[in-house]
Structures are given as structure tokens and as C-alpha cells.
Copies of this chain bind each other. A is one copy, B any other.
């Protein structure tokens, strides 16, 4: 079991590195009169995050592909795999912009992130605001490159559907909606409904986007897409509960950010509402539900890396 975990960690690290290289290949070069803002974008984007969202995207893509397709189908898969790359980079850009803005003095006022000074501490508040804006905007600029790769109407439809998801999930009916509630509710006691809304949107929406875009580009049916949405929603819950647990039990050096910040900021968390034991149980239950949904969709892919990854995320130590 310990061996398996070590193997999985190594495999995850390799996949994260691959995803990181794809993200980097789409990062703009710091030059011209706009050099400073691009430096700030690169500083946060290429700071070695876990790359969980792009990895989930590409793994969902691979997971949903049907085995044993003919030569033509292989070519189509190749085309869609190419379209996947700009979307992998785009989702990481959106995730990164949200961290830069979240860390600003007017919001969470954090000085450290991933073990390094936050953007506004290095580049000043004005440049950090612009760098966040720039990353959000550049995410769509990057994703739009998929249109140039689309060879026929079907691929164009998949790319535009993926673009639609990329635009919807991080917005007011997704991530920003969750952030808004989170900002307004800091320092107030939350009930379960409110906390779930924040988890589902602030954290869950980007995970849903990642997996749904992978599914759309793999040519998933509407029914399959709905299944992927439900699985991703459970993964988002498990992931955020694990985050709350880590804020209590985690190691500051390993996490690259201060622990016990929720307590200091008087934030209601899954742990503060239900206690540590129940939080651990819930994280596991959500991830098992996600795995069950995925298994039902592709029983022949039993024991896939995606399933292992889902289980791992719920019990991770960083």
C-alpha cells in the first residue's frame, strides 16, 4: 500500500511536470513596453503549483476515449488532443489569476503563496491587479487558439463548447460567485448550505470546468458530460474539505503557506462545523462517490490513473 502511494506520488509528479511544460509553452515572453505585467504573470503562473486542474482535464480526456478505434478515429483523437493543450494552459491561468487577486490586501491579504512572496508583495498592488486581469484575459486568448486547430465543423463545435464551459464555470455562477459569498461571509458563522455553496463554486467550479472540457474534447455524449459534472462536483467537495483539514493538520513548509489561517481569519470550515474525524470521513465519501460515477461510465477502465488520483486528492498531505 505504501509502495502504491509512492508510485502514485511519482506518477502524479511526472504528470504535473508534463502539464507544467504545456502551461509554460503558452506563457507569453516578458518583453516590450508590457514587460513588467508579463513578468508578474510568469512569476505566479510558473511557480510550480500542483497543476491539478490541467492534469484532471487531460486524464478525463484520456479516460473517456473509447478503446480500439480505427485509423481515422485515431487521427481525430490526435486533433482533439492538440486542442486540449491550450485549454490545459488556460484553466491554470484562470486558477492563477484567482490566487493573485485573492491574496490582495483588500481581500485575503496574504504575503506568501507556494512558499514565495505573493504577487503584490513583489510587483506592487497595481501590477498584481493588472497581472490577475491579464492572466484571466490571456486564458481566453490562449484557449481561442484551439479554433485555429479545428479541422472540421465537429472539432469547431467541440472547441466552442469547451470555450463556453471555460467562460461559465469561473464566473459569477461559478468561482466568482463562490468568492463573493466567501468574502461577504468571512468572520460570520456559516450554515451548511452556505458553506456548500462556497465549496461548490469557489473550489468546485474550476474542477468541473477542467473535467468537463476534457470530456467535451473527447467527444462525450450529453449523458456522459452530466456524469463527469457530477463526479467533478464530488471531487471539488473532497478537495476543499481536504484543504480545510490541511489548514489544521498540515505542515507549513510542505504546504508553502501558513497553516491555521482559517482559525485566525475566523472562517467557518468543514472542520470547524463537523470536527476532524467527520471531515476525513466526508472527504473520503465524496471521493468514493466520484470514483463510483466514473467506474459506471467506463467499467473497462478499472484501476485507471484518474481513479487513483481522485482518491489521492481527498487524502493528500499538501
Contact = CB atoms under 8 A, between A and B. Distances in A.
Interface in A181-232: 181, 183-184, 194, 197
B159 A144 contact: no
Interface in A117-157: 124-127, 129-130, 132-134, 136-138, 140-141, 143-144, 147, 150, 152-153, 156-157
A291 B137 CA distance: 31
**Interface residue range, chain A:** 35 or more
Interface in A84-101: 97, 101
Contacts of A41: 172
Contact of A101 (B33, B129, B166, B179): B129
A202 to B, nearest CB: 11
B176 A37 contact: yes
A265 interface: no
A129 B38 CA distance: 20
Interface in A154-169: 156-157, 159-161, 163-164, 166-168
B130 A133 contact: no
A152 B152 CA distance: 11
Contacts of A138: 171-172
Contacts of A141: 164, 167-168, 171
A180 B137 contact: no
A118 to B, nearest CB: 14
A225 to B, nearest CB: 16
Interface of A: 28, 32-34, 36-38, 41, 97, 101, 104, 106-107, 124-127, 129-130, 132-134, 136-138, 140-141, 143-144, 147, 150, 152-153, 156-157, 159-161, 163-164, 166-168, 170-173, 176-177, 179-181, 183-184, 194, 197
Given A132-B133, A140-B166, A147-B161, 9 more contacts: A34-B173, A101-B129, A104-B129, A130-B183, A140-B140, A143-B167, A144-B160, A144-B167, A152-B153
